Structures are given as C-alpha cells and as structure tokens.
Amino acid sequence: MDLQPFTSSTSAHPIAFINPQAPLLDLLTYAGLRIRATRDMLDSLTDMTSRHADHLDLQRFSSVATLMLQDGCDALHAVEQRAMGLSEE
C-alpha cells in the first residue's frame, strides 16, 4: 500500500496519510464531507460581523477552513490521478 502524506502536514515526519488506492467512492465521500463542512462553516462566518468575532475567532475559522479544504483537495487529487490512469488504459 502506497500511502501519501496529506499536504496539510507541516512536519518532516507526517502522521496523517491518504490511501490513493482506496475505493474511488470512499475518496470522493471523504473529499465531499470536508468540502461541504468547510462551505457550511464559512457560510456561518458570513453572518458574523467584525463586531461579533474577534481576531482570534477569524484566525481559527481560517485555519480550520484551510486544513479541511486541503485534505479534501488531496482526496480529489487522488481521484484525479486514478481517473487519469484509468483513461490511459
């Protein structure tokens, strides 16, 4: 099994990995859950004003959104690589 570290990992010794050989539906489900959760969180953020959220709150939302979207994009990238491999066969 050829596991790939998530690109959100900032350590020289990553501990979170993605299995690019997982079933395509599982990879798409993983990506979709993270992307939709991020969308929902950011949608909630649009209802806030600067008076209702301080700098730390906005930084936390931004950090979570970045991590969730990057993990979702990594899963989508694995799907794309598999789909390209399937189309070449």
- CA 61 – CA 2 distance, rounded (Å): 32
pLDDT tens digit sequence for 72-89: 999 999 999 998 887 665
**Which is nearest to 30 in space by CA: 43, 44, 16?**
16
In a domain, 48, yes or no: yes
Does any domain span residue 30?
yes
Q: In the chain, count H helices and then E strands.
A: 2, 2
Mean pLDDT value across residues 3-8: 90
| Per-residue pLDDT at 75 | 96
Q: Beta partners for 4? A: 18
Task: Determine, yes or no, domain membership for 28.
Answer: yes
Containing structural domain, residue 52: 24-88
62 assigned to some structural domain: yes
Determine, yes or no, domain membership for 73: yes
Closest CA to 41 of 56, 20, 57: 57
* Residue 74 within any structural domain of the chain: yes
What is residue 50's predicted lDDT score, i.e. its pLDDT? 64
| Residue 7 domain flag | no
Q: Six-digit token pair at 55? A: 């700098």
In a domain, 4, yes or no: no
Overall domain count for the chain: 1
pLDDT tens, position by position, 18-52: 999 999 999 999 999 999 999 999 988 887 766 67
